[in-house]
Structure 1
Amino acid sequence: MNKITRRQALGTTAGALTVLGLAGATAYAADTDSRAAISAGNAANAGPAGTAGTAGTIDEVYQGRRIQITPATGGAHHGGHHSAGLPAVRIDGRELHVMQNADGTWISVVNHYETFSDPLSLARAAVRELQGAALVPMGGM
């Protein structure tokens, strides 16, 4: 009778897991490369910032999502969610809550641990992170 030894079973299992790990890493790398190519293409086709409206207003379509940024108003708005002086950032008409750090960088509820140099780059990163999902209103869910 041919019996498999414990050493042979462990060797076969280790080999199979290695093959699966390499296949997963290869698939991840290919997906990352394709996303980078898509992002580069979208950035190239995004057009100039502030394509419509008054000075400082941005209205553009990025990766199929509409980004609108209007300059800050004088007081708190939307039920006091924001402090005075923050621009209104909207993705597909839904407000993206943003905050400016003391060093001048920007964060949002979507990318809370990643900082951005301006609200437009923050909104574009939020669109990429959402991957097609809609923004959900904060608070009154």
Structure 2
Amino acid sequence: MSQLSRRSALGASATALAGLTLTAFARPNGPPGPPSAGHDNRAHSPEGHGHTPTQPKPFDEFFKGRRIQGAPSQHEGHHGVGYSVRIDGRELHVMRNADGTWISVVNHYETFAGPRAVARAAVVELQGAQLVPLL
């Protein structure tokens, strides 16, 4: 009777794992069927993100003693109509990600649901400091 060595067991496990991984990536995309409970049936945007982004509503409020404002901007970038966020009248550079979340130069490693949340997080992060212009 042969005994299973560590080397052959590790090799067999690695082969099985590689086969499962390749099988998962090689599944054919068949014709679309009826929508299921987890299927997103919304129309696809021209960018191919699977959703049609909506423009956030303007806001103007005081948060922790700072005035934060947000509104659609007049300039259009390659991502569509822009959105301007200001803290005490100074522009906070914000960007919308492909998944619909927002980031800013102050919190560029953390995503937020909208520009108001980005502005509030920036106020907290600034701890009273003023924004400086982006060069």
The count of aligned residue pairs is 80
In structure 1, how many angstroms separate the alpha carbons of the residues matched to 2:123 and 2:74? Answer: 24
The within-5 A match list for 1:58-137 is 58-76=59-77, 84-137=80-133
8 Å contact kept, 1:98–1:107: yes
Q: TM-score, normalised by structure 1?
A: 0.52
Cα RMSD for the two superposed structures = 2.0
Percent identity of the aligned residues?
A: 62
The CA deviation string for residues 86-138 of structure 1, in whole angstroms up to 9 with x for no partner, is 21100000000001111110000000000001000010000000000000001
Structure 2 counterpart of 1:118, one-letter code: G
Query: 5+ residue gaps in structure 2?
Result: 1-55
Q: TM-score, normalised by structure 2?
A: 0.55
Which structure's residues are more often strand, by fraction? 2
* Larger CA Rg, structure 1 vs 2: 2
Instruction: Name the SS of the counterpart of 1:87 in structure 2.
Output: strand
Query: 5+ residue gaps in structure 1?
Result: 1-54, 77-81
Instruction: Name the SS of the counterpart of 1:138 in structure 2.
Output: coil
Instruction: Name the SS of the counterpart of 1:135 in structure 2.
Output: coil
